[in-house]
Amino acid sequence: MPNLYRHILAWLDERFGTGSVEEFLRHKTVPQHRHSIWYFFGGMTLFLFVVQVLTGILLLLYYRPTPNDAYESVQYIVTQVRFGWLIRSVHSWSANLMVFTAFVHMFSVYFLKAYRKPRELTWITGMLLLFITMGFGFSGYLLPWNTLAFFATKVGTEMAGAVPFVGKWMLTFLRGGEEVTGATLTRFFGFHIAVLPGLATTLLAIHLLLVQHLGMSVPPGVERAIAEGREQARSMPFFPNFLLRDIIGWYAALGVLGALAAIFPWELGAKADPFTSAPAGIRPEWYFLFMFQALKLLPPKILFLEGEFAGLLGFSLAAAVWVVVPFLDHRAGFGRVTRFFTGLGVFVLGFMGVMSLLALR
């Protein structure tokens, strides 16, 4: 058997030059220290992305993106198609877990200063991937065409419409007209299965390439401890030691996904009826709650700006600052921790947590 394995590798190497990959894997190492656990969240997010792609493809076999058929096709999937309930529930739960692990990954990178030189582009591509993930969530939420999804999309796209000058255009672009209709559904379906996956795959390739090329970042505190001789520099081979640990995490995630799908199947709700009024207490998905609540708490007028617009402007600026943080926190590039940026991270995390909890009250 080992002979066969070597033969296959040799055969591939002769044709693709895979020997260099094998060589790379053999020498690639991952730093080992007290914060190593956070390294696993990137791989976990990647695993959930793969789950999304696979379950998404299976759902595509039956899903029909029209207002007359969308709800019925999802209903058919969860009631008639063999294991359709499992695929649909895993797709929905995995989407939420993926957003969660992506946020954990992003904040762990932020607090461990892993964005610092020379990993600025890794951070920027990661942030763009996070935005795309949220876009996946927003566009996918509408696809079952149920009441909650319909009105949440209406509210969500209305927010875009509040932006002066381009708001009207954005609203029409997102909805495919003045109102949330079948045109919106087709559009969101297109974003969800073609535009966003294309962008995500490209960015993911760059992100992974950068991670492989630059290696894992060691937190400044650990770096300093090693330099001062208080700690010994340790590492483990990526293949197979780190990868096996990753696989353990993926198996655990698979178990959690299966349990959630079997015990709490993702509910379908009632079919959307554009002519009824919005149900009480309509809320977006949990990862948009902090924005939703903050916009709700804002006064109608802030200085000379509409409250909602000022809020959206604030969020856009904050997101822009967050994306370029590696260039602002240049001290981190020299292994120095700036309290301001750590405090900013704590504030952002606290703000998102408190606002989300307020929205859930």
Binding site for another protein (CB under 8 A): 26-27, 29, 31, 33, 75, 78-79, 85-86, 118-119, 214-218, 222-223, 226, 232-237, 240-241, 244-245, 247-248, 251-252, 254-255, 258-259, 262-268, 270
State which residue, 29 or 96, has the beta carbon closest to another protein: 29
State which residue, 178 or 267, has the beta carbon closest to another protein: 267
d(Cα 356, Cα 286) in Å, to the nearest integer?
7
**Shortest separation between residue 125's beta carbon and another protein, angstroms:** 18
d(Cα 167, Cα 157) in Å, to the nearest integer?
10
Q: How far is CA 155 from CA 162, 188, 307, 326, in A?
A: 11, 15, 16, 34
State which residue, 187 or 207, has the beta carbon closest to another protein: 207
Closest CA to 306 of 163, 131, 210: 163
State which residue, 85 or 322, has the beta carbon closest to another protein: 85
d(Cα 91, Cα 101) in Å, to the nearest integer?
15
**Shortest separation between residue 117's beta carbon and another protein, angstroms:** 9
Q: Which amino acid is at 278?
A: A
State which residue, 177 or 215, has the beta carbon closest to another protein: 215
- On whether the CB atoms of residues 103 and 280 are closer than 8 A, the answer is no
State which residue, 93 or 290, has the beta carbon closest to another protein: 93
Pairs from 162-169 (Cβ < 8 Å, separation ≥ 24): 162/306, 162/308, 162/309, 162/312, 163/309, 163/312, 164/306, 164/309
Instruction: At 287, list the tokens.
Output: 């990862």
State which residue, 99 or 261, has the beta carbon closest to another protein: 261
**Shortest separation between residue 211's beta carbon and another protein, angstroms:** 11
**Shortest separation between residue 65's beta carbon and another protein, angstroms:** 20
Closest CA to 150 of 278, 24, 64, 58: 278
**Shortest separation between residue 229's beta carbon and another protein, angstroms:** 13
Q: Which amino acid is at 32?
A: Q
**Shortest separation between residue 301's beta carbon and another protein, angstroms:** 37
**Shortest separation between residue 103's beta carbon and another protein, angstroms:** 24
